[in-house]
């Protein structure tokens, strides 16, 4: 029996294809939750993607298809999860406008996630207002469908925290309308980049994509940051900040063998190439079936678009219901 009291919503910005960080950060949780909860939504956040890509709508449009393919190929099932496109549910935009009144500019500027991203993108004071306010639109994404569970990576926690402040404020002003939101963190909420950078991200060019070929996986693993002082195989090596071992810990199901390899590496006598070859096999084992399903789906774009279209239609019915309640609460239901 699936749980009927909770609803799950997550989404991705369609700005590029997804990578292993997305897989362990949220996609695996999406797959687990869709078997436990009756109402699960997957949203392609094209409006959010436009907040910092207003000048590149082509990129956003193309990647709507790509991130949908990635999720379908990884195992998010359209039978269990309703797929939809954010922009095609205009009620979300309407809710966003109402929620914007409940948030101050100062609070938006303090959001650590937004701050980090602003720094990374070099916005400074010239930040697009839509980008600065995206946590508000993200609150609307979650609330319009009554979701209370949100599988996300660690970087999104401040956005959820802010959404919960909005929930409190809305309920206090207009009456109990929305539930508290609980983020669902994975056991690996943040994946290091192949270069050892704290976060794997497309913009840092340090990721392994879910649609990388075997050759690309090979090349990237061979470039991975290990222990710069481990020069000869016979040297004793450090497993702590060693990306190959970090990835083996996460992705290799044979934990005991990994433990023995770590001991061997620490003692000396185990070369980088050997552990990298093992990691290549482990990653290929995970990515190969995703890649195969993706190729199949790519050949059938009409089916993929139909999944988005029928899911969006279903989602809009729910959105309209929520907005009727919201308009009533905010006293803008003149013609009801």
Q: State the Cα–Cα distance between residues 60 and 48, nearest whole angstrom.
A: 10
- Of 159 and 297, CB closest to ligand TRP: 159
Per DSSP, 45 falls in state -
Tokens in use for 287? 């990515």
Question: x/- string (CB under 6 A) for ligand TRP, residues 127-146?
Answer: -----------x--xx----
DSSP assignments along 292-321, one per residue:
HHHHHHHT-HHHHHHHHHHHHHHHHHHHHH
Query: CA dihedral defined by 324, 329, 335, 336, rounded to 10 degrees?
Result: 60
Min. distance of Cβ 34 from ligand TRP in angstroms? 15
Interface with ligand TRP (CB under 6 A), residue total 13
Residue 319 lies near ligand TRP (rule: CB under 6 A): no
Extended beta strands in the chain, E state = 3-12, 37-44, 82-85, 149-152, 182-185
Residues 6+ apart with CB under 8 A from 64: 14, 44, 46, 85, 308
Min. distance of Cβ 227 from ligand TRP in angstroms? 32
Of the candidate residues 6, 7, 8, 10, the single one contacting ligand TRP (CB under 6 A):
10
Region of 8-16, 31-39, 90-98, 268-276 interacting with ligand TRP (CB under 6 A): 8-16
Of the candidate residues 7, 23, 31, 45, the single one contacting ligand TRP (CB under 6 A):
45
- Of 48 and 226, CB closest to ligand TRP: 48
Residue 44 lies near ligand TRP (rule: CB under 6 A): no
Min. distance of Cβ 325 from ligand TRP in angstroms? 20
The dihedrals phi and psi of 213, each to the nearest 5 degrees, come to -75, 165
Question: x/- string (CB under 6 A) for ligand TRP, residues 48-67?
Answer: x-------------------
Min. distance of Cβ 11 from ligand TRP in angstroms? 4
Min. distance of Cβ 285 from ligand TRP in angstroms? 26
Helix (H), strand (E) counts: the chain: 15, 5
Of the candidate residues 12, 46, 66, 212, the single one contacting ligand TRP (CB under 6 A):
12
Residue 13 lies near ligand TRP (rule: CB under 6 A): yes
Min. distance of Cβ 218 from ligand TRP in angstroms? 28
Closest CA to 86 of 9, 27, 152: 9
Tokens in use for 164? 């919960």
Q: State the Cα–Cα distance between residues 214 and 284, nearest whole angstrom.
A: 6
Per DSSP, 180 falls in state P
Q: State the Cα–Cα distance between residues 186 and 38, nearest whole angstrom.
A: 20
Min. distance of Cβ 151 from ligand TRP in angstroms? 8
Binding interface with ligand TRP (CB under 6 A): 9-13, 45, 48, 138, 141-142, 150, 152, 156
């Amino acid at each position: 029996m699936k749980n009927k009291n909770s609803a799950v919503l997550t989404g991705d910005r369609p700005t590029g294809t997804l990578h292993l960080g997305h897989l362990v950060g949220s996609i695996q949780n999406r797959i687990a939750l869709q078997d436990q909860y009756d109402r699960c939504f997957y949203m392609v956040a094209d409006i959010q993607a436009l907040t910092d890509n207003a000048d590149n709508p082509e990129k956003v449009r193309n990647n709507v298809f790509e991130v949908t393919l990635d999720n379908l190929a990884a195992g998010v099932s359209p039978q269990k999860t309703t797929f939809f496109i954010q922009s095609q549910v205009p009620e979300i935009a309407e809710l966003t406008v109402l929620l914007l009144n409940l948030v101050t500019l100062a609070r938006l500027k303090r959001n650590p996630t937004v701050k980090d991203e602003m720094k990374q993108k070099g916005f400074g004071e010239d930040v697009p207002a839509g980008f600065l306010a995206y946590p508000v639109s993200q609150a609307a994404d979650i609330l319009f469908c009554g979701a209370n569970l949100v599988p996300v990576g660690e970087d999104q926690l401040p956005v959820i925290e802010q959404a919960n402040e909005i929930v409190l404020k809305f309920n206090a002003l207009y009456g109990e309308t929305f539930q508290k939101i609980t983020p669902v963190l994975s056991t690996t909420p943040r994946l290091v980049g192949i270069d050892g950078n704290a976060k794997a991200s497309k913009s840092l060019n340090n990721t392994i994509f879910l649609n990388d070929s075997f050759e690309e996986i090979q090349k990237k693993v061979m470039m991975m940051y290990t222990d710069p002082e481990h020069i000869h195989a016979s040297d004793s090596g450090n497993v702590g900040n060693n990306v190959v071992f970090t990835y083996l810990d996460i992705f290799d199901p044979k934990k005991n063998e990994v433990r023995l390899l770590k001991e061997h590496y620490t003692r000396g006598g185990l070369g980088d190439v050997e552990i990298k070859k093992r990691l290549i096999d482990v990653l290929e084992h995970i990515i190969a079936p995703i890649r195969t399903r993706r190729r199949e789906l790519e050949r059938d774009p009409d089916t993929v678009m139909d999944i988005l279209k029928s899911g969006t239609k279903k989602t809009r019915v729910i959105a309209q219901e929520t907005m009727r309640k919201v308009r009533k609460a905010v006293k803008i239901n003149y013609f009801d």
